[in-house]
């Protein structure tokens, strides 16, 4: 994999790629890079006006679609009008918010980051021609996932653990989907990625003093730009060498920064019984079943 960068990305002309949350941060940089490489890019976003400004700068090969992952009605509406794509990139997310609820009553982070993307993927999978890329995070290491209490109805809420829960759930979804696709003999693959420590707006929206700490951290040499943080996602989405069921992240400083490489993760994500329970619970909560 070496020092893979956007210069190594193949020509993307003829490919249609959906990027959720592409109006800012990692999603924006992912969409811009794919657009420069010639892909037809769909920016699937809650903030349509902000996404349109990004799409206008990318050019005529970029379009905007309304998608609020914190509202399953919006997810279903997007899926109903979806005409298909080569790649779906499950990028959108919120981080370390105070306790809040989605339109469907889910804890905001698990609801947006995981359940929204789970429902979206299940509803459009039959129209994804090549691969699904799902973003996790190094924060999956702090997760204390309780499948019987995904929505923090009984536990005392901890915003960072809740974020970690959502990100290990995303990783487990990607790995479980990869296994199911392979068993079904599908040519579609599922790949996971994480950005390391990338300086983005996401880290300054916790509505707490942590915002100031993160702003200081973003100015240190450990933090990389959003464009560099998008490289593992771009590798997972565009590199012919990307492998079904693999997890890609930065190679240096314990995964904080650098060119993409295969990343390690907590062993619980490989526990088939736990993944199966999470999958079944997500199907029950969202009302979405995968036709694989």
Give per-residue pLDDT as tens, 17-74: 999 999 999 999 999 999 999 999 999 999 999 999 999 999 999 999 999 999 999 9
The CATH number linked to 65 is 3.40.50.720
The pLDDT value given to residue 214: 46
Name the domain count of the chain.
1
| DSSP 8-state assignment for residue 106 | -
Catalytic residue among 157, 163, 235, 248: 163
**Looking at the predicted structure, is the pLDDT value of residue 207 above 70?**
no
Residue found by looking up tokens 């599922």 in the block: 190
**Looking at the predicted structure, is the pLDDT value of residue 182 above 60?**
yes
Largest Cα–Cα separation, the chain: 50
Q: Which domain holds residue 259?
A: 10-284
More confident residue, 1 or 78: 78
Q: Is residue 94 within 8 Å of residue 112, measured between CB atoms? A: yes
User: What are the C-alpha distances in Å from 94 to residues 6, 108, 217, 265?
Assistant: 26, 8, 18, 21
Q: Is residue 241 within 8 Å of residue 255, measured between CB atoms? A: no
pTM of the model: 0.93
Whether residue 3 lies inside any domain: the answer is: no
Active site residue 157: no
For range 84-94, the mean pLDDT: 98
**Looking at the predicted structure, is the pLDDT value of residue 137 above 80?**
yes
Q: Is residue 191 within 8 Å of residue 245, measured between CB atoms? A: yes
Q: Determine the Cα–Cα distance for residues 231 and 236; give it in Å rounded to an integer.
A: 9
User: What are the C-alpha distances in Å from 19 to residues 34, 86, 91, 219?
Assistant: 10, 11, 6, 27
Q: Determine the Cα–Cα distance for residues 31 and 33; give it in Å rounded to an integer.
A: 6
Task: Count CB-CB contacts under 10 A for residue 173.
Answer: 27
Q: Determine the Cα–Cα distance for residues 291 and 125; give it in Å rounded to an integer.
A: 8
**SS3 category, 169:** helix
């Amino acid at each position: 994999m070496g020092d893979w960068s956007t210069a190594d990305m193949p020509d993307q002309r003829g490919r249609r790629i959906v990027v959720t949350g592409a109006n800012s941060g990692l999603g924006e940089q992912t969409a811009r890079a794919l657009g420069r490489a010639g892909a037809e890019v769909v920016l699937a976003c809650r903030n349509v006006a902000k996404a349109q400004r990004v799409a206008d700068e990318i050019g005529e090969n970029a379009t905007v679609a309304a998608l609020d992952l914190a509202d399953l009605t919006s997810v279903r509406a997007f899926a109903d009008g979806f005409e298909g794509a080569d790649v779906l990139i499950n990028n959108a997310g919120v981080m370390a918010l105070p306790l809040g609820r989605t339109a469907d009553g889910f804890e905001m982070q698990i609801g947006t980051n995981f359940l929204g993307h789970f429902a979206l993927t299940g509803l459009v999978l039959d129209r994804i021609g090549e691969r699904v890329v799902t973003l996790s995070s190094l924060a999956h290491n702090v997760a204390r996932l309780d499948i019987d209490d995904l929505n923090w109805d009984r536990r005392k809420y901890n915003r960072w653990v809740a974020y970690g829960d959502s990100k290990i759930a995303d990783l487990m979804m990607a790995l479980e989907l990869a296994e199911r696709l392979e068993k079904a003999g599908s040519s579609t693959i599922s790949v996971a990625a994480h950005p390391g420590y990338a300086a983005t707006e996401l880290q300054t929206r916790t509505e707490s003093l942590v915002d100031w700490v993160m702003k200081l951290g973003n100015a240190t040499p450990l933090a990389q730009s959003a464009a560099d943080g998008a490289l593992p996602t771009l590798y997972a989405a565009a590199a012919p060498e990307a492998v079904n069921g693999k997890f890609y992240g930065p190679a240096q400083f314990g995964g904080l920064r650098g060119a993409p490489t295969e990343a390690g993760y907590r062993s619980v994500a490989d526990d088939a019984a736990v993944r199966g329970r999470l999958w079944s619970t997500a199907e029950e909560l969202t009302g979405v079943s995968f036709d694989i």
